[in-house]
């Protein structure tokens, strides 16, 4: 087995906010305190199965409020990422608070994202369990590349480039899929999709109850 020398370099373990390392960051992003909880859409609702509209207006109070609400809603639901159509808003935007496989936390939002994956010759596919806040209670194995880059804009229209590896790369791919009208169920065989929907039917009420409890805790 060969030694990967890049792995021997010290890893900068600082939290990445909007792709940049910061020296300190709270357990809950500041957006959470400003936000209001929104209902999470569930697979089968039409808004989840069509591409979202591009964001064309930046720097607005409405866009900032939406991002705040999405952060709170994501934390209430114990999610690592949340797309705008998952709170019934038809815009190309997602938020995230997600670790990578080195345990480094990545927090931020990105608007009108374009996903870049490694070339087929150099990409490595990883099969891991994946869940979705819009498929409550279900987890299935999904194949994703172990690296991903997303290019887009922040809420003020400034360009962003967000790079992810491991679990965070999976998150970037999962959330970008949402904005094009796809859930991870679309990547499953018919049999596995049935299994996921059966899991959701069995567990969704428990998941909804847990979200109510978490919302009450975060509103204190």
Catalytically annotated residues: 175
The CA distances from residue 50 to 8, 86, 94, 111, in Å, are 44, 12, 15, 17
Report the alpha-carbon distance of residue 16 to residue 23 in Å, rounded.
9
Which tokens hold the place of 184? 């991870």
Report the alpha-carbon distance of residue 33 to residue 147 in Å, rounded.
32
Measured CA angle at 154 (ends 10, 66), to 5 deg:
115
Strands (E), 37-170: 81-83, 93-99, 105-116, 125-131, 139-145, 147-153, 159-165
The CA distances from residue 172 to 36, 65, 100, 108, 191, in Å, are 24, 22, 11, 11, 26
**Given the DSSP bridges, would you call strands 125-131 and 105-116 parallel, antiparallel or unpaired?**
unpaired
């Amino acid at each position: 087995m060969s030694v990967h020398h890049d792995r021997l370099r010290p890893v900068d373990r600082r939290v990445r906010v909007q792709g940049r390392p910061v020296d300190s960051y709270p357990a809950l992003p500041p957006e959470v305190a400003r936000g209001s909880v929104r209902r999470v859409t569930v697979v089968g609702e039409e808004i989840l199965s069509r591409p979202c509209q591009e964001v064309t207006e930046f720097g607005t109070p409405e866009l900032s409020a939406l991002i705040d609400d999405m952060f709170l809603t994501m934390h209430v639901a114990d999610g690592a990422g949340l797309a705008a159509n998952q709170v019934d808003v038809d815009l190309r935007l997602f938020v995230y608070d997600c670790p990578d496989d080195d345990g480094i936390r990545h927090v931020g939002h990105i608007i009108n994202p374009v996903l870049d994956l490694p070339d087929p010759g150099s990409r490595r596919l990883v099969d891991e369990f994946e869940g979705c806040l819009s498929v409550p209670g279900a987890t299935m194995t999904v194949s994703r590349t172990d690296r991903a880059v997303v290019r887009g804009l922040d809420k003020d229209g400034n360009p962003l480039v967000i790079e992810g590896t491991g679990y965070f790369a999976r998150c970037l791919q999962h959330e970008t899929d949402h904005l094009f009208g796809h859930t991870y169920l679309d990547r499953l065989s018919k049999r596995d999709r049935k299994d996921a929907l059966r899991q959701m039917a069995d567990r969704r009420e428990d998941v909804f109850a847990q979200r109510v409890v978490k919302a009450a805790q975060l509103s204190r």
